[in-house]
Amino acid sequence: MHRLAGFVSWLNALPSRAVDGALAGVAVAMMLSERLTTTPSLGTRLPAALALAAVIGGSLAVRRRWPLAGYAVGAAALAVDALWLDPSGLAPLANLVGLYSLGAHGNPRRALWGPPLLLVTIVAFFVGDDGSPPAAVPAVIVFVWLGAWTTGYAAARRRERQESDRRLMRRDAVVDERHRIARELHDLLGHTMSVMLVQTGAARVVLGSDPDRAGAILSAVERTGREALDELDRVLGVLRRDDGADLRPGLAALPRLVERMAEAGMAVTVRVDPPDPRLPGSLDQSAYRIVQEALTNALRHGKATSATVAVCVDGRRVEVEVRDDGRGPLPGYQPGRGLLGISERVAVFGGAVEHGNGAGGGFGVRAVLPIPRGGETA
C-alpha cells in the first residue's frame, strides 16, 4: 500500500505533458502492434490502418491541453477506421480515455460535446462491425463510456468549486487581516495622538506662566511618543514574522495606560477581578484595546476628567466596563471608527457590546467577551 501511494505521488509530480506523451506513445505502440500482428491482412489498406492507429493513440497526447480537439480527432479517426477497415479492438479503449479526459479537463461548455460525439462514434463503430453484435452490447458500451465521461465531468466541477472556495477563503483572510491591522493601527495611533494633543495643549496654556510645568508636560509628550513608536515597531515586527508570536499589550499593560491618561489630565481608576487573570492572548489583547479605545474617546470627545474601568473574569467570559464623567454623546449620535472597532473586536469572540449615556452622566461602554473553549483563567 505504501509503495502504491508512493508511486501515485511520484506520478502526480511528473509534468502532465510528459505523462500524456508517454500514455499516447504506449497507446500508439500497442495499436500498431495489433494491426501488424493480429488484424487480418488489409493489403493495400494497411498503411491507412497504421496511420489511423497513430492518430487515435496520438490524440491522447493532448488530452489535457486541448481535450475537445483531441477527443474529436481521435473519435473521427476511430469512426473512419471502423467504417472502411476492420475495427480495431484497442481503439475503443483509447476513445474511453479521451472521453474521460474531455469531461475532466474540458471547460464546462466544451465538455458537453462529449456525449453527442460518443453516440456518433458508437454508431459508426458498430455499423462497420460485420459481426453484428447483440443489441445489448452497444447499450452497455454507451453506459460505460458515459459513466467515464460523467466521472470526469463531476471531478472537474468539484475541483472548480474547491478552487472557488479556496479563492474566497484567501480573499476573506486578506480582508480580515486588513481589518485587523487597521484596528491595531487605529487604536495605537489614535490613542497616542489624542493623548499627545491634549498634553501639548496643556503645555501651550502654561508655557508663559509656568515654564517648568510646561517642560514637564513636554517631557511626558516625548515619552508618550517614544513608547508609541516602540509599540508600533513591535506591531509591525509581528506582521513580518511567521512564527505566530504576538507582542501586543494585554491587561497587564493597564497601569502604564492609566499613567498616560493621568499625564493627559484624566484620572482613571482600574479594578481587575481577579487581579492577574490568565486569558488567551488574542482575548487579553482585545480586552486591553477596548479599554484603551474607550478611554481615548472619553478624553478626546467627552472631555472627561475621570473614568472608571472594571474588568471581571469569571471563567466563562470577560466583562469590560468603562464609564467616564464627560459631557456624554449628543442626541442621535452615530458610532465612529473607535466604537465600530470595539464592536468588531467583540464580534470576533461572539460577544456583545453596549454603549451610551451613563446613569449619572458621561458615557459608558460595556463589552462581554466569551472565553473560547480551552482558554485558561486564573
C-alpha 52/C-alpha 47 separation (Å) is: 9
| The pLDDT of residue 266 | 87
Look at residues 74, 120, 80 and name the one whose alpha carbon lies nearest to residue 101. 74
Is-contact 103 149, C-beta < 8 A?
Answer: yes
pLDDT digits (tens, 9 = 90+) for 83-134: 887 777 888 888 889 998 998 888 888 999 988 888 888 887 777 555 555 5
Q: Distances in Å between the alpha carbon of 345 and those of 24, 58, 175, 332, 350?
A: 58, 60, 15, 24, 9
pLDDT at residue 237 in the model = 65
- CATH number listed for the domain at residues 170-370: 3.30.565.10
Instruction: Provide the grid cell at 105.
Output: 479537463
Instruction: Return the closest-CA partner of residue 313 out of 333, 347, 284, 339.
Output: 284
CA dihedral sign, ordered 86, 88, 91, 93: positive
Q: What is the pLDDT of residue 124?
A: 79
- Counting as low any pLDDT under 70, the low residues of the chain are 1-14, 39-42, 128-137, 172-177, 180-181, 183-184, 186-191, 231, 234-248, 332, 359, 374-378
Q: What is the pLDDT of residue 2?
A: 55
Per-residue confidence (pLDDT) for residue 34, from 0 to 100: 82
Is residue 345 classed as helix, strand or coil in its secondary structure?
A: helix
